[in-house]
Amino acid sequence: MKNLFLTFFFIIISTYHMSAQQFKYFDYIDKALKFYHEKNYQEAGKTFELAFGSLHGKSTQNNLYNSACSWSLAGNNDKTFLYLQKIIDGDMIDGWNDPIEFYQLLNKDSDFNNIKTDPRWKILTNGAKRNQESFQKNIRKDLAERIKILGKSDQEKRLQLDSLRKVKGLGFSGEKELLAIINRQDSINLIELDNIIKEFGWLGPKDIGYKNNQYLFLIVQHADLITQKKYMPLFKKAKKNGKILPKDIAYLEDRINMREEKPQQYGSQVYPDVATKKFILFPLKNVDSVDYYRASVGLESLSSYLKSSFNIGWDPTVYKKELPVLQAKFLKKTE
């Protein structure tokens, strides 16, 4: 078992309501991982399947892979190949599905040692290899290198800001100056992004690689509201062509809504409160359904996200009580 894919610093869903008590996807995933680490592989595999069933039979590549690991160690070859084949066929929520990383890990992961004598193993790995080779062949290396440089300039000072905030807290001495440097670099990056898009259109993971595709997205995510709204139609078109990840559209929708003083749907946006030196979760549109929406675009649970990224504890009951105050503070007043 591995946490397969890089998380980056970082399905359009119709109106839906589900209570937190009903939606158990993330609970099942956590339980499945716990069973795996306890070496109770049969129960791990069964619990992963409960998770997938709670999300209309879908999940991310990472969870499908970990399910396959569990079934392999449980001695169930049929289910192991079932879930690995889903990855190769792309039968999953679109996310960080790098076929190069997948093929490399598939061949070296000891969790699959006991199925490598099965005749299906060679067929499966050949399919994974073809996906890898096709992906590598189509990468536009000159553009990828150009965007890599652009992306690093977007991230360098932000990573410094994040590190300083963790050590010194929000509002530390020198924070405003660092933010000003970041804003200037964002303006420069945006000009370069506009030039790239005018010349080549929106470049997806299969054009420039997953990491570089994320760099492009982050430049838009860090742009001004007018720019973000300008690019949203392009993003929605790119999603149909598999050139942008659903989670990225979710992040951008939340960012636009926050800037327009409207509630967010996916819980990706927080507000830095300098007075309390804490981050505050921007008002949610639907507290009970937020984890369903997040799961459907391949995001982690809100609890996990807030804790790992902002050191915020998540208690929906407490948040609901605080929500009217947050709405009055952050949302546009309606007649």
Phi and psi, residue 4, nearest 5°: -55, -50
289: burial class by Cβ within 10 Å (0-12, 13-18, 19+)?
Answer: buried
In words, the CATH class of domain 25-138 is mainly alpha
Identify the pLDDT of residue 15: 36
pLDDT at 210 over 70: yes
Res. 333: pLDDT tops 80:
no
> How many residues does this entry show for the chain?
335
Confidence label for 274 from pLDDT (cuts 50, 70 and 90): confident
Alpha-carbon distance 99 to 103, whole Å?
6
State percent of the chain over pLDDT 70.
Answer: 93
State residue 2's pLDDT score: 61
Comparing 12-26, 139-153, 159-173, the range with the smallest average pLDDT is 12-26
- Of 6-10, 193-197, 230-234, where does mean pLDDT reach its minimum? 6-10
pLDDT band at 334 (very low <50, low <70, confident <90, very high): low
DSSP reduced 3-state for 285 = coil
Q: How far is the CA of 297 from the CAs of 192, 203, 300, 321, in angstroms?
A: 29, 20, 9, 27
Burial of residue 173 (CB within 10 Å: 0-12, 13-18, 19+) is exposed
pLDDT, position 3:
63
pLDDT > 90: percent of the chain: 87
Asked if residue 92 has pLDDT above 90, the reply is yes
